[in-house]
Structure 1
Amino acid sequence: MLRMQRALGHAGFSAHTIKLRANSGWYGMEPMALQLRELVDEVTSEGETCALVGFSMGGIVARYYLQRLGGAANVHKFIALSSPHFGSLWAHLLPYKGGRQLRIGSEFLDNLNRDAAMLEDAAPVSIWTPYDATILPQSSSRLPLGKTYQVPVSLHRWVPQNPAVIDIVVAELAEVFASGVSKNSNQLSCTKKSRR
């Protein structure tokens, strides 16, 4: 996410990355979502909101924060990059809690998707690649609402570094401010517009 963080900085955003502890998902999405809540609380002042960009499992952690921990009130834009919203076949090989949560048909994901409409106020965006060998089926990376972008990136781990993906993220975040909205603006990034 460092390349994206630099690009967002050049575009006038204050971008923060979060290195989640126990980021393998061993203990599930919930402890990581609590860490995300702490970061958002640190980087936003009273009455401010921020944008969240989550890559892979980070997008699911962000969704749990938004949908289960009251985060929707603090976020005006949510962008998920190659996140397994409907699970991945590979997760069936992971014997720990996070792996079970990210399986196709898991109760965890079914619950999030049942009330995905809670994300509407965060103007959700999903960016995915049809060549993703980590998120199978690749269509699982498409949110059931909001905007969707398909970008031909060869590998899952290259998605957040891809120039076309970065351009989409920057444009989506800039659009919030161009429209006159008066909000300050596995891996996660939290951004807010810098005051110049």
Structure 2
Amino acid sequence: MKSRIAILIPGIFDRGRSMQRMQGALERSGFVARTIRLQTNSGWYGMEPMAAQLRDLVEEVTREDESCALVGFSMGGIVARYYLQRLGGAEKVHKFIALSSPHFGSLWAHLLPYKGGRQLRIGSEFLSSLNRDAAVLEGAAPVSIWTPYDATIVPRTSSRLPIGNTYQVPVSLHRWVPQNPKVIDIVRTELAGALEDPDGR
């Protein structure tokens, strides 16, 4: 059964401030929005321990027969993908939305000399592996939202998932993407539409 629970996953070094405006908008629209405060959110130990934290929160806030939605910003979208594709999360999630996430890596990740940085680099085996079996995401009706002005995800087109619906929204700065009114409206509409889909769980 689809719940109205939406878990928001912030990006690198972010404890959730970037998602506050979206969380408030979703709650006013009748969703139960939760922002996860990831530990080791620098990515120092890689995406895996953060994805495990996400798995634990999903199990905590949903009943056994319920699914929820995930909205991941930047690195948070990759954390969500690892949970969905490697930790069985696809069975618990009916909607996945990625906001400016480096699905095919970013040049800036080469400046991060630790595990998470290596995972988020262009051509990394970590991302290549996720993209080879991106079809696992199909049950979560994936959506990616990206801006052509992104100077953090380079190349900018890396923010487009290989499957699902894609929206291009002209947001001036990467960090403003989850706060942009148009982006928030798309997220709200996509989450509401997923609840109405008769073919979903």
TM-score by length of 2: 0.89
User: SS of the counterpart of 1:86?
Assistant: coil
- Judge conservation of contact 2:73–2:101 (CA < 8 Å) in 1: yes
| 1:22-33 equivalence runs, <5 A | 22-33=40-51
Which amino acid is the alignment partner of residue 97 of structure 1?
Answer: K
Single out whichever of 174-183 and 35-44 deviates more from structure 2.
174-183
Instruction: Name which of 16, 28, 35 aligns with 1:17.
Output: 35
Instruction: Name which of 152, 157, 162 aligns with 1:144.
Output: 162
Partner Cα separation in structure 1 for residue 161 and residue 115 of structure 2: 23
User: SS of the counterpart of 2:123?
Assistant: coil
Aligned position for 2:129: 111
Instruction: Name which of 31, 48, 53 aligns with 1:35.
Output: 53
Partner Cα separation in structure 1 for residue 140 and residue 27 of structure 2: 21
Which amino acid is the alignment partner of residue 117 of structure 2?
Answer: G
Aligned position for 1:90: 108
Partner Cα separation in structure 2 for residue 179 and residue 96 of structure 1: 41
User: SS of the counterpart of 1:176?
Assistant: helix
Deviation at 1:182, TM superposition (A): 6.9
Deviation at 1:181, TM superposition (A): 5.7
Instruction: Name which of 177, 180, 188 aligns with 1:159.
Output: 177
Count residues with an aligned counterpart.
183
Partner Cα separation in structure 2 for residue 90 and residue 79 of structure 1: 23
Deviation at 1:180, TM superposition (A): 3.6
Partner Cα separation in structure 2 for residue 105 and residue 124 of structure 1: 22
**2:91 aligned with 1:69:** no
Could you list the runs of 4 or more consecutive aligned residues of structure 1 that deviate by over 4 angstroms after TM superposition?
none
From the superposition, tell whether residues 96 and 167 of structure 1 become closer, same or farther in structure 2 (CA, over 3 Å): same
Deviation at 1:93, TM superposition (A): 1.0
Which amino acid is the alignment partner of residue 43 of structure 2?
Answer: G
Structure 2: 5+ residue stretches without partners: 1-18
Aligned position for 2:15: none
Partner Cα separation in structure 2 for residue 92 and residue 115 of structure 1: 24
Deviation at 1:179, TM superposition (A): 2.8
Aligned position for 1:128: 146
User: SS of the counterpart of 2:162?
Assistant: coil
Deviation at 1:87, TM superposition (A): 0.1
Partner Cα separation in structure 2 for residue 151 and residue 70 of structure 1: 31
Structure 1: 5+ residue stretches without partners: 184-196
Coordinate RMSD, CA, aligned: 0.9
Which amino acid is the alignment partner of residue 141 of structure 1?
Answer: S
Aligned position for 2:14: none
